[in-house]
C-alpha cells in the first residue's frame, strides 16, 4: 500500500515537464506566449501538482490500478489546470448553494433577476443621471430614482434608501432620539446575525433604551407607563429570527400609533425583512405586508433590500414626508448613502414588482417552487449520479428554509439528492464538494450529504455531477 503510494508520487511529473508538454495543448497557448501570463500558468501547475500529491497521499488506492492511475493522470491535470486558470483569480467566486436556504447570508442573500443584473452592469459601464436633473441640467437627488416607486409599492408618502437596514435603524434613532429615550418591548430586543443588536444600535445612535414588558408579554399599558418627558419615540422591532411560543402578547403597530398620537410621539418600526408580497397566498404564515404596516399610520418603517424583497443590500425607509425630510438632513445620511449600482439593482427589482409577476424575482421563484418541480429536478440529479460507482445516491424528501431571519420556523417541503460515499466519510465528502474550483455548499444529515435542488441554478447540476466524478480519484 505504502509502496504503491510512493510509486504513484514518483509518477507525478515535475512542474517544468507539465509546462513543456502544454505546448501541444492549443487552449493554453495564450499563457505560454504571453510573458505576463506565464507566471500564472506555472503557479497554477504547481497548485494542481500539489493537489495531486495530496490526493495520492490521502486516498486509499485499491479502487484503481497503477495503469489506470497513470493513464488518467494527464487528462486530470489538464482539467484541473483549466479550472485553476479560469475563475480562481478572484477572491469573490461563484458558490453553488445546495443548502436549500434561499436567503443564505453567507452566500450573499438575495439573487438579482438576470435582467436586473444586466441593468446594473449597463449602469456600471456608462455615465448616468445619478444626481442630474436631465430637464434642467441642474444637480438632482440620487434618491428620486427609487422614491416614487417605493411610495407606489408601499403606499407611503416618502421614502429613502441607505446602506442596509442596520444603517436605517441607526439613522432613525440618531435623527429622532439622540440624547433621548426610546421605548421598546423586552420581547423585541433581538440580535440579528451576531453583529446587529437592537440595544447596541440604539446606543450607537445616541439613544437611551427603555425596556418595557417581559420576554413573552408586553401590553399597551407598559408603554403608556414608561412614557416620560425624555421619551422621543416608540419603536417596534420585528422578532425575525426567533419565535416565543405559548403565552404571548405584543402590541400592534396600530395600537401604538393611537397611543403615540395621544402623547405626541412618533412610532417607528424595524420590519427586518419586510415584504411587498403577501406570502400567505403561498401558504406562509400571515405577516402584514409593508403596505399594510404603513396603513397603520407609523411615522417610519425600515426594512432590508436583500431579504424577502429580493434586491440588493440596502436599508429602505418609508413613511411620513416630514420624518423622511429630517432623515435626509442628518449628516449621517451622507456616510450611509447607497452607491449607484445598488440604486440600479433596487430600481430594477422594484420595477419587476410593478410590471411583472413575483416569478421573475429569484427569491420568490425559489420560495414558491412547486414540489413536483423540485421532485423532478432531484430525480434527474439522482439519475445522473447513478453511474458513479464511488457513491450511493437516493432521492429523499426533506425541508428547506427561507433564511435571512424571515419565517424562521417555516419548513418548506423539498426533494433532495442524498449522497453517501462508498469509501470515506460524509464529513470528507462535504468538504470535498466545498473545496472544488466551484465551491458546492451542501448539508450533512445523519449519514448523508444532501443536495437540495430548491436553490440550484442553471448549470449547477452539471458541475455537481462533474465534481463527484472526481471523488476518490
Positions touching ligand PLP (CB under 6 A) are 164-166, 190, 192, 196, 237-238, 240, 270, 272-273, 304, 315, 405
User: Residue 269 in contact with residue 302, Cβ under 8 Å?
Assistant: yes
Give the integer Cα–Cα distance in Å for 25 and 67. Answer: 23
Q: Please provide the DSSP assignment of 107-148 as one string.
A: GTSSPPPHHHHHHHHHHHHS---TTB-TTT-SB--TTHHHHH
Q: Minimum Å distance from CB 270 to ligand PLP?
A: 5
Q: Give the C-alpha distances (Å, rounded to integers) separating 423 from 64, 182, 471.
A: 13, 59, 10
Number of residues written out for the chain: 473
Shortest-Cβ-distance residue relative to ligand PLP: 272
- Of 123 and 273, which has the nearer Cβ to ligand PLP? 273
User: Residue 314 in contact with residue 321, Cβ under 8 Å?
Assistant: no
Give the integer Cα–Cα distance in Å for 408 and 455. Answer: 17
Q: Minimum Å distance from CB 20 to ligand PLP?
A: 52
- Of 189 and 326, which has the nearer Cβ to ligand PLP? 189
Q: Which three cell numbers stand for residue 13?
A: 511529473
- Of 289 and 304, which has the nearer Cβ to ligand PLP? 304
In eight-state DSSP terms, residue 359 is: G
Q: Minimum Å distance from CB 161 to ligand PLP?
A: 11
Compute the radius of gyration of the chain from its Cα atoms. Answer: 27
- Of 238 and 461, which has the nearer Cβ to ligand PLP? 238
In eight-state DSSP terms, residue 14 is: P
Q: What are the residues facing 451 on neighbouring strands?
A: 417
Q: Minimum Å distance from CB 275 to ligand PLP?
A: 12
In eight-state DSSP terms, residue 103 is: B
Q: Minimum Å distance from CB 50 to ligand PLP?
A: 38
- Of 212 and 385, which has the nearer Cβ to ligand PLP? 212
Helix or strand (DSSP H, E) at 393: strand 391-400
- Of 311 and 348, which has the nearer Cβ to ligand PLP? 311
Q: Minimum Å distance from CB 442 to ligand PLP?
A: 25
User: Residue 292 in contact with residue 257, Cβ under 8 Å?
Assistant: no
- Of 266 and 405, which has the nearer Cβ to ligand PLP? 405
Q: Minimum Å distance from CB 192 to ligand PLP?
A: 4
Amino acid at each position: 500500500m505504502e509502496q504503491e503510494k510512493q510509486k504513484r508520487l514518483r509518477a507525478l511529473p515535475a512542474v517544468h515537464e507539465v509546462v513543456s508538454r502544454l505546448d501541444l495543448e492549443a487552449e493554453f497557448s495564450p499563457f505560454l506566449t504571453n510573458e505576463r501570463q506565464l507566471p500564472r500558468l506555472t503557479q497554477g501547475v504547481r497548485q494542481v501538482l500539489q493537489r495531486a500529491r495530496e490526493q495520492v497521499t490521502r486516498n486509499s488506492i485499491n479502487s484503481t490500478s497503477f495503469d489506470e492511475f497513470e493513464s488518467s493522470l494527464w487528462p486530470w491535470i489538464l482539467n484541473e489546470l483549466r479550472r485553476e486558470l479560469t475563475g480562481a483569480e478572484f477572491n469573490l467566486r461563484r458558490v453553488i448553494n445546495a443548502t436549500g436556504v434561499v436567503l443564505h447570508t453567507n452566500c450573499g442573500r438575495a439573487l438579482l433577476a438576470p435582467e436586473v443584473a444586466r441593468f446594473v452592469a449597463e449602469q456600471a459601464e456608462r455615465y448616468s443621471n445619478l444626481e442630474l436633473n436631465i430637464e434642467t441640467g441642474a444637480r438632482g437627488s440620487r434618491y428620486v430614482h427609487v422614491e416614487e416607486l417605493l411610495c407606489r409599492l408601499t403606499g407611503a408618502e416618502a421614502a429613502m434608501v441607505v446602506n442596509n437596514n442596520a444603517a436605517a435603524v441607526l439613522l432613525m434613532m440618531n435623527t429622532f432620539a439622540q440624547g433621548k429615550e426610546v421605548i421598546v418591548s423586552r420581547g423585541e430586543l433581538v440580535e440579528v446575525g451576531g453583529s446587529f443588536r437592537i440595544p447596541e444600535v440604539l446606543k450607537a445612535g445616541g439613544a437611551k433604551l427603555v425596556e418595557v414588558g417581559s420576554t413573552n408579554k408586553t401590553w399597551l399599558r407598559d408603554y403608556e407607563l414608561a412614557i416620560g418627558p425624555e421619551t422621543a419615540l416608540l419603536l417596534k422591532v420585528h422578532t425575525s429570527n426567533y419565535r416565543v411560543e405559548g403565552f404571548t402578547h405584543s402590541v400592534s403597530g396600530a395600537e401604538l400609533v393611537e397611543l403615540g398620537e395621544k402623547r405626541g410621539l412618533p412610532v417607528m418600526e424595524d420590519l427586518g425583512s419586510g415584504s411587498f408580497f403577501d406570502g400567505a397566498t403561498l401558504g406562509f404564515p400571515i405577516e402584514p405586508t409593508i403596505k399594510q404596516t404603513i396603513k397603520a399610520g407609523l411615522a417610519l418603517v425600515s426594512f432590508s433590500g436583500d431579504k424577502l424583497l429580493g434586491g440588493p443590500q440596502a436599508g429602505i425607509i418609508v413613511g411620513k414626508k416630514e420624518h423622511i425630510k429630517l432623515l435626509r438632513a442628518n449628516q449621517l445620511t451622507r456616510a450611509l448613502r447607497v452607491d449607484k449600482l445598488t440604486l440600479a439593482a433596487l430600481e430594477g427589482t422594484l420595477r419587476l414588482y410593478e410590471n411583472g409577476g413575483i416569478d421573475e424575482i429569484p427569491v420568490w421563484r425559489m420560495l414558491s417552487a412547486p414540489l413536483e418541480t423540485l421532485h423532478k429536478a432531484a430525480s434527474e440529479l439522482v439519475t445522473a449520479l447513478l453511474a458513479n460507482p464511488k457513491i450511493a445516491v437516493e432521492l429523499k424528501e426533506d425541508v428547506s428554509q427561507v433564511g435571512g431571519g424571515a419565517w424562521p420556523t417555516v419548513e418548506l417541503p423539498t426533494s433532495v439528492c442524498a449522497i453517501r460515499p462508498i469509501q470515506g466519510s460524509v464529513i470528507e465528502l462535504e468538504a470535498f464538494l466545498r473545496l472544488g474550483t466551484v465551491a458546492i455548499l451542501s448539508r450533512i444529515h445523519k449519514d448523508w450529504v444532501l443536495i437540495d435542488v430548491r436553490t440550484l441554478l442553471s448549470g449547477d447540476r452539471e458541475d455537481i455531477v462533474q465534481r463527484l466524478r472526481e471523488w476518490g480519484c
